[in-house]
């Protein structure tokens, strides 16, 4: 049993589970499976049938049934509200499917297959026109009236200070000094003055797909929450707007994205001030958690190493250059 299979205690051939899925979802005769080797927690794969392709997300063993249902709802609500995310299929009217095979419980979602690639696989960043689309769509997502039960995510900016206290011993002296200062800056933000909304929480290269017709889709709502909306802006700016080799272009890309967002829903001046700090906090939490993955979880994957490298370079750049303009400190 490999590391992916151990996530769901897959003690039967994957074909066996897939045939059960095909029958209950009426997807047609089973053809084959292909594992998606990206992501830290759940087990995702492409299921091919005679009717087409589908994406199956099997939830990890550590998740309680209530958490799985919460995640299923998080994935379903955006697409049902017109957001550009994969459709969630239902079996017997339910978005979460449960089955038991050889005394092992499986909880899963079946999603629309997008014929395309994510930006990480493409090896490129979104262009300016695509950043405009992302900005407008993200603003619409944040306006959806949905307040799901809170899910704790150690990578989330709002949990950064707590995670730093728990894991700062894993950092080298240089990283510790930089990140400690950012924790202080984040703690100076008054979260009660920030506008809250339904946030994706992880708009990064691996979670934005471009299909064969150029349409953009947003996947993986597993860390979505009701949080300050600038969480989504900070993450998107760091991962999709920031060009590590060109800060002048990075500022243009950031301005393009933020202006597109504000064409749908304006940011307050206080949100813009805090956004500067949230941007640095996201880079810092990426360093912290990628380091933890490497040391504690023994995760030496290309994906994790890329996150760690980008986080370190990104933090250096956003600490020297203010992408949002204005001040780096919060007004008293």
> Please, what's the b/e burial string for 280-319 (b: 16 or more CB within 10 A of its CB; e: otherwise)?
bbbbbbbbbbbbbbbeeeebeeebbeebbebbbebbebbb
Q: Where in the chain is the domain with CATH 3.30.200.20?
A: 3-112
Q: Which of 323, 153, 330 is nearest to 250 (CA)?
A: 323
What span, in angstroms and rounded, lies between the C-alpha atoms of 212 and 118? 11
Superfamily name with CATH number, domain 118-320:
Aminoglycoside phosphotransferase (APH), C-terminal lobe (3.90.1200.10)
How far is Cα 122 from Cα 216, in angstroms, rounded to an integer?
13
Say which CATH superfamily domain 3-112 falls into: Phosphorylase Kinase; domain 1 (3.30.200.20)
What predicted TM-score, i.e. pTM, was given to this entire model? 0.88
What order of strands is seen across the sheet that includes strand 208-211?
Answer: 116-118, 208-211, 216-218
Residue carrying structure tokens 């949080």 = 227
pLDDT of residue 1: 58
- Which residues, given as ranges, of the chain have pLDDT below 70? 1-2, 325-332
Quote the tokens at residue 173.
């002296």
* Residue listed under structure tokens 């993450």: 235
Task: Indicate where the chain has its CATH 3.90.1200.10 domain(s).
Answer: 118-320
Q: pLDDT of 119-144, one tens digit each? A: 999 999 999 999 999 999 999 999 99
Least Cα distance to 30 among 39, 40, 19 occurs for: 19
| Alpha carbon distances (Å) from 231 to 81, 271, 317 | 21, 10, 19
What per-residue confidence (pLDDT) applies to 93? 95
The residues, any chain, with a CB within 8 Å of residue 130's CB and separated by 6 or more, are 210, 216
Identify the pLDDT of residue 321.
86
Q: What is the pLDDT of residue 303?
A: 85
pLDDT in tens, 174-222: 999 999 999 999 999 999 999 999 999 999 999 999 999 999 999 999 8
The pair phi, psi for residue 97, each rounded to 5°, is -105, 135
d(CA 324, CA 272): 7
**CA 65 – CA 251 distance, rounded (Å):** 43
DSSP state of 107: E
Burial 137-175 (b: 16+ CB within 10 A, else e): bbbbbbebebeeeebebbbbbbebeebbeebeeebeeeb
């Amino acid at each position: 049993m490999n590391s992916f299979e151990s996530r769901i205690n897959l003690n039967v051939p994957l074909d066996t589970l897939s045939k059960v899925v095909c029958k209950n979802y009426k997807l047609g005769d089973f053809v084959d499976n292909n594992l998606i080797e990206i992501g830290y927690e759940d087990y995702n794969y492409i299921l091919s049938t005679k009717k087409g392709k589908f994406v199956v997300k099997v939830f990890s063993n550590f998740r309680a049934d209530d958490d799985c249902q919460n995640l299923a709802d998080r994935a379903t609500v955006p697409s049902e509200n017109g957001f550009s995310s994969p459709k969630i299929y239902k079996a017997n009217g339910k978005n979460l499917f449960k089955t038991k095979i050889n005394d092992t419980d499986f909880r899963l979602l079946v999603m629309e297959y997008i014929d395309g690639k994510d930006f990480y696989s493409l090896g490129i960043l979104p262009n300016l026109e695509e950043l405009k689309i992302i900005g407008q769509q993200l603003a619409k997502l944040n306006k959806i009236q949905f307040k799901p039960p809170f899910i704790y995510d150690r990578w989330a900016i709002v949990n950064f200070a707590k995670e730093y206290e728990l894991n700062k011993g894993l950092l080298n002296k240089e990283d510790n000094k930089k990140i400690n200062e950012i924790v202080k800056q984040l703690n100076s933000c008054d979260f009660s003055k920030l506008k809250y909304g339904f946030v994706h929480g992880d708009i990064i290269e691996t979670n934005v797909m471009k299909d064969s017709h150029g349409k953009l889709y947003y996947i993986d709502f597993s860390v979505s929450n009701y949080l300050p909306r600038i969480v989504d802006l900070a993450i998107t700016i760091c991962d999709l707007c920031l060009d590590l080799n060109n800060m002048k272009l990075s500022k243009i890309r950031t301005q393009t994205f933020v202006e597109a967002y504000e064409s749908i829903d304006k940011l307050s001046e206080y949100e813009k001030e805090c956004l500067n700090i949230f941007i640095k906090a996201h880079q810092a939490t990426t360093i912290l958690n990628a380091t933890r993955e490497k040391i504690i979880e023994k995760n030496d994957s290309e994906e994790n190493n890329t996150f760690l490298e980008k986080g370190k370079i990104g933090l250096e750049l956003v600490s020297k250059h203010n992408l949002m303009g204005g001040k780096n400190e919060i007004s008293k």
